[in-house]
Chains A and B, each alone.
Chain A
């Protein structure tokens, strides 16, 4: 089974894979010889579980980044399709573009009509090229805000899913106003009367992520990351050495725990043991439950109260000293 499964192994997953294949071998041996090895198998499985727990609860920021970028990690469309009762993708920014790096549409979620949208990374190389590796162009941000405006008009809560290395930095992106497109979203998202929940499901890459990231609640999956700049690039500039990206990843504080401590995000959703790619179904259930609970909380407020709290939430972010004026 393991041999024809094209699994992509991260370095720190290798001891686990070895253990898994040992278990498999013993199983096969037991079957061939008709001997009962279930005790040994049970012990090994317990050890594998412990090891998996241990490894995944002690990941360094760089390892987190690897998990967040894992090619098998569930994407925005995977989650949308799995958590919604029904869903129809809608296209285009009405300004001449339909950016495949951003997907969005109308859906029924837990019985309620909502708008869901997010950056979409490719599921394989071909798809990734088509979707520009989830790096949105101005048209993508404009499609997103157009769908959010739609949601606001029809009283549908907005669920955004963040998964992007960065906003696209190509020539057309500059030509068509990447800065303006993101800026516009940042301002307009404060306006909406409907609840907004933003979830970082993989990689939250700087302004490209924030462009759909202003919400009443900002949630992160346990092994996702959110950073002001990609650690590789930060290392190249601040350390003048791209090889120092591990130090940069550490210094930038990109993990969910660090960001909760800094007051940037509201909640961390635990992932299945071995991360979301190890058990996408369970990851989906965890996400769905959290979104149902969060929407219920937000729906119990009036729209003005929600808007005020959304403002206050971002208003209070920042760490500085305020010296006494009388000094």
Chain B
């Protein structure tokens, strides 16, 4: 994915910033500085405001554990497939072996790979939830991310519940080569079956959503939500700029830009997210009595018809 390159290039710049401010520091530190307006906020207040700056409304990065706490009903989270671990099927080595990169990232993040999946409830509504984590190699999608999301969607189809995926990813993971690319098809296939069963799928696009994730499950929602100012792209900004050899406008590939072009349904401030999700889930919960009533209405007619024909 071209955008993946872009992301990898940007990561060189961004990595120190993330290292200097891991989630733990935010949790323990008394004050937190906004990366946008530099305002210092009492961390407790910032967390209470879902890591949205009280001064400038900037949505700071939120990782998977924190996101789960923000969205789900307390104690409703049942993680799935945490036993899936990445391997190194290509024996990939760039400046560092892939297997080392994975181990180091696992140690640093305490995550197994770039997505957490499981079942939970939002305002009492059951949902199959996947949350990508940008800390794990830029949220890149390899075999484990593909398999966990596919199993999640299949479970949701089986249990007839909606799927919600919080996207944060640079795209396909290069270190697993074509196996990564094929996860796009695999997940899309699972979503096709979920959709065929008339079930609801909502992706939430957070900063950044790019490459192979954009070109598969991020754009396949029945309803697509995004966080304010999130970068959402297929090919990243630098790739596009290099391709067309001109500078792009500042708002290009932002959530706001995509809303204007009709590719997403709504931009939801993080502080409104749980409420909005609860509302959407309730609106799409067809009361079980309605379909059975419809069937009852039709059955006598059909019988009459067949008895006449017979």
B2 within 8 Å of A (CB atoms): yes
B150 within 8 Å of A (CB atoms): yes
Query: Which of A166, A174, A177 has most chain B Cβ within 10 Å?
Result: A174
Cβ–Cβ < 8 Å partners of A322 in chain B: 83-85
Cβ–Cβ < 8 Å partners of B240 in chain A: 169-171, 174
CA distance A176 to B248 in the complex (A): 15
B43 to chain A, nearest CB (A): 35
A169 touches B239 (CB 8 A): yes
- Size category of the B interface is 35 or more
A171 touches B248 (CB 8 A): yes
Annotate A134-161 by CB proximity to B: 1 below 8 A, 0 otherwise: 0000000000000000000000000000
Given contacts A175-B261, A315-B150, A180 and B219 within 8 Å (CB-CB): yes
CA distance A207 to B233 in the complex (A): 13
B214 touches A183 (CB 8 A): yes
Given contacts A228-B174, A262-B89, A186 and B5 within 8 Å (CB-CB): no
Interface residues of B in 229-286 (CB under 8 A from A): 232-235, 239-240, 243-244, 248, 252-253, 261, 263
B186 touches A229 (CB 8 A): no
B94 touches A186 (CB 8 A): no
B234 touches A253 (CB 8 A): no
A238 touches B8 (CB 8 A): yes
B217 within 8 Å of A (CB atoms): yes
CA distance A117 to B240 in the complex (A): 27
B243 touches A264 (CB 8 A): no
| CB nearest neighbor in A for B10 | A237
- Size category of the A interface is 35 or more
A304 to chain B, nearest CB (A): 12
**CB-contact partner of B218 in A183, A207, A320, under 8 A:** A183
CA distance A161 to B183 in the complex (A): 21
Given contacts A320-B84, A325-B83, A311 and B234 within 8 Å (CB-CB): no
A259 within 8 Å of B (CB atoms): yes
| CB nearest neighbor in B for A204 | B178
B116 within 8 Å of A (CB atoms): no
A75 within 8 Å of B (CB atoms): no
Query: Which of B87, B143, B179, B252 has most chain A Cβ within 10 Å?
Result: B179
B42 within 8 Å of A (CB atoms): no
B1 within 8 Å of A (CB atoms): yes
A169 touches B192 (CB 8 A): no
CA distance A211 to B95 in the complex (A): 31
Cβ–Cβ < 8 Å partners of A229 in chain B: 1-2, 4-5, 172, 174
Cβ–Cβ < 8 Å partners of A171 in chain B: 240, 244, 248, 252
CA distance A323 to B106 in the complex (A): 15
A179 within 8 Å of B (CB atoms): yes
B144 within 8 Å of A (CB atoms): yes
| CB nearest neighbor in A for B150 | A315
A8 within 8 Å of B (CB atoms): no
A173 within 8 Å of B (CB atoms): yes
Interface residues of A in 272-327 (CB under 8 A from B): 310-311, 314-315, 317-325
Cβ–Cβ < 8 Å partners of B87 in chain A: 319-321
A172 to chain B, nearest CB (A): 9
B95 to chain A, nearest CB (A): 6
| CB nearest neighbor in B for A214 | B185
Annotate B161-203 by CB proximity to A: 1 below 8 A, 0 otherwise: 0000000000010111111111111101111110110000000
B182 touches A182 (CB 8 A): no
Cβ–Cβ < 8 Å partners of A252 in chain B: 90, 174, 177-178
A179 touches B189 (CB 8 A): no
CA distance A311 to B86 in the complex (A): 23
B13 to chain A, nearest CB (A): 13
B191 touches A178 (CB 8 A): no
B220 within 8 Å of A (CB atoms): yes
B186 touches A317 (CB 8 A): yes
B186 touches A315 (CB 8 A): yes
A210 touches B94 (CB 8 A): no
A323 touches B234 (CB 8 A): no
CA distance A254 to B179 in the complex (A): 11
| CB nearest neighbor in A for B180 | A228
B261 touches A177 (CB 8 A): yes
B147 within 8 Å of A (CB atoms): yes
Cβ–Cβ < 8 Å partners of B184 in chain A: 183, 186, 207, 210
Given contacts A184-B219, A251-B93, A174 and B189 within 8 Å (CB-CB): no
| CB nearest neighbor in A for B181 | A228
Cβ–Cβ < 8 Å partners of A323 in chain B: 83-85
Query: Which of B5, B147, B234 has most chain A Cβ within 10 Å?
Result: B234
Cβ–Cβ < 8 Å partners of A214 in chain B: 185, 188-189
B189 touches A320 (CB 8 A): no
CA distance A173 to B215 in the complex (A): 12
Cβ–Cβ < 8 Å partners of A311 in chain B: 189, 193
B183 touches A317 (CB 8 A): yes
**CB-contact partner of A174 in B92, B95, B196, B253, under 8 A:** B253
Which 10 pairs, one residue from A and one from B, show the smallest C-beta to C-beta distance? A169-B235, A179-B214, A318-B143, A186-B188, A238-B94, A319-B89, A179-B234, A237-B8, A183-B219, A182-B215
Q: Could you list 8 examples of A-B contacts with CB < 8 Å? A: A169-B239, A173-B235, A174-B235, A176-B261, A207-B1, A262-B179, A264-B182, A321-B84
**Known interface pairs A207-B234, A238-B8, A318-B182; 15 further A-B residue pairs with C-beta atoms within 8 A, sorted by A's residue number:** A168-B243, A171-B240, A179-B234, A183-B214, A187-B195, A206-B1, A234-B5, A236-B5, A237-B4, A317-B182, A317-B183, A318-B143, A318-B146, A318-B179, A323-B85
